[in-house]
Amino acid sequence: MPKHFRYRSLEDLQLDIDRLGLHDDIPLTEDLDPLWRPIRFGNRTIGNSMAVHPMEGCDGHLDGSPDELVFRRWRLFGEGGAKLIWGEATAVTEEARANTRQLWLHDGNAASFEALLAQTREAHRAVHGRDDDLVIGLQLTHSGRYSYRKPLIAFHDPAADPVTLVDKKRKIPVTTDYPVLTDAELGRVEDALVNTAVLAWKLGFDFVDIKQCHRYLLSELLAARLREGDYGGSLENRTRLVRNVIGRIREETKDELPLATRMNVYDGIPYTTDPDTGTGTPRAPYPVPYLSGFGVDVDDPLREDLSEPVVAAGLLKEAGIRMINATMGSPYYNPHVGRPAERSPVDGYDAPEHPLFGVARHFRAAAALCAAHPELHIVGTGYSWLQKYMINAGAANIRDGRVTVMGSGRGALAYPDFAKDVAEHGEMIRKKSCITVSYCTALMRGKHNELGQFAVGCVPRDKIYADIYKEMLDTAPEP
């Protein structure tokens, strides 16, 4: 696998950006002042323009409550200095969980989430002296097609069904007679999202994110042109569930809970590994016109078409969304799209493009949403591969009005106090930065312990997870 990140200076990175013809998509600056702009969000002020993305640790208790590693991760985020902490994916029902240890908020464990929130704020105050400008949200999810017990699909996707496994051990995929969630079942999902959002509000979370990304259930609905009934076909129908949820949450919280969504703006198509080269290649055959992806060019689904995502963002804005965290791809079948990386995940393939093309795709998409909807706050994704230079790109994008907030996901797992170091040193420290070698994803794929899931974190930068990774390798079953 080629090594792409060889940059010893910002100038080296700029030369490669120019060489690849990406100058217009990936701006850089040494002026980091834009990162310190405060942002008004609902009735709160976010104290700077840096965010921690919703990064799952797959380390909750079996009842969905946070365990000690969750508390540790959130404490580190609280101490870290980013003023927007976008709390990780939290299931709204047990069947909605993506793994056995995914967080799941319900009445029976609400007190533990309240304690998690309190300790995160306390940690922030202890280091930074105040927390009135710290905004902490919670991402609410239904895993849909990727629910761990069985796939719960919104429609039959001719591209995704063959790579969606009903029986993982025997590699049996979804077939054409596999049941699709009914409109009544989607109505119950709507109820669960609303009820969990109201509970999060009562616990003191500053906002909730209604998750619509990475081809989990609500993300799949955005692409459900092939579904019949009230939740498929037209874009109005495909956004019906999320708009219903938004309206009901606003009503039940008296419009006191700010609402956000992390939304796919480009799904891409499934990839597979070329057996001769190890490189990712589109899984063939795929239908054209391609009607089962959101934000894709129906005549060439390898290209993005942001016209529908821009319209959808407008519909969500009208419904009451105030912030969109723009992302793309599926970690299950095209990881290079969502997570430009130096090394592919264990179940992936060598990227078919230089990672800078993936970074540029993310930046273009966020800029398009900003241009179309200047009233919305747009949180940008795709920064982690840039390592210590992500702040230079983030500051330039904020300066140019191409994004409101720079978010760090994998980068924050490796380097939770990146914002604190920027404040104190004017730069990020190279030896603390994420190097995008996908060990965190390898841990996420590890299922062979007594809990059915290994905890996830940064193996190169955090000894706790290096030890967990070693345990995972040492106990792996024979192939």
Q: Spell out the per-residue pLDDT of the chain, length 479, in tens.
A: 668 999 999 999 999 999 999 999 999 999 999 999 999 999 999 999 999 999 999 999 999 999 999 999 999 999 999 999 999 999 999 999 999 999 999 999 999 999 999 999 999 999 999 999 999 999 999 999 999 999 999 999 999 999 999 999 899 999 999 999 999 999 999 999 999 999 999 999 999 999 999 999 999 999 999 999 999 999 999 999 999 999 999 999 999 999 999 999 999 999 999 999 999 999 988 999 999 999 999 999 999 999 999 999 999 999 999 999 999 999 999 999 999 999 998 889 999 999 999 999 999 999 999 999 999 999 999 999 999 999 999 999 999 999 999 999 999 999 999 999 999 999 999 999 999 999 999 999 999 999 999 999 999 999 999 999 999 999 999 87
Q: What is the pLDDT of residue 299?
A: 98
* Residue 205, C-beta contacts closer than 8 angstroms, at least 6 positions apart: 87, 117, 136, 137, 138
Interhelix angle 240-252/183-203, nearest 10 degrees: 40
Distance CA 253, CA 264 (A): 26
Cis peptide before 285 (omega within 30 of 0): yes
Q: Which burial class, exposed, middle or buried, applies to 465 when counting CB atoms under 10 A from its CB (0-12, 13-18, 19+)?
A: buried
Q: What is the pLDDT of residue 3?
A: 87
How much helix, strand and coil, in percent to the nearest 5, is found in the chain? 40, 15, 45
Q: Closest Cα partner for 270 from 367, 167, 349, 353?
A: 349
Distance CA 377, CA 375 (A): 7
Distance CA 455, CA 472 (A): 10
Q: Which residues pair with 260 in a beta bridge?
A: 209, 323
Distance CA 66, CA 43 (A): 28
Q: What is the pLDDT of residue 457?
A: 98
User: Which amino acid belongs to residue 83?
Assistant: K
Q: Which burial class, exposed, middle or buried, applies to 176 when counting CB atoms under 10 A from its CB (0-12, 13-18, 19+)?
A: exposed
| DSSP at 60 | B
Q: What is the pLDDT of residue 1?
A: 61
Distance CA 34, CA 85 (A): 18
Structural domains in the chain?
Answer: 10-446 (3.20.20.70)
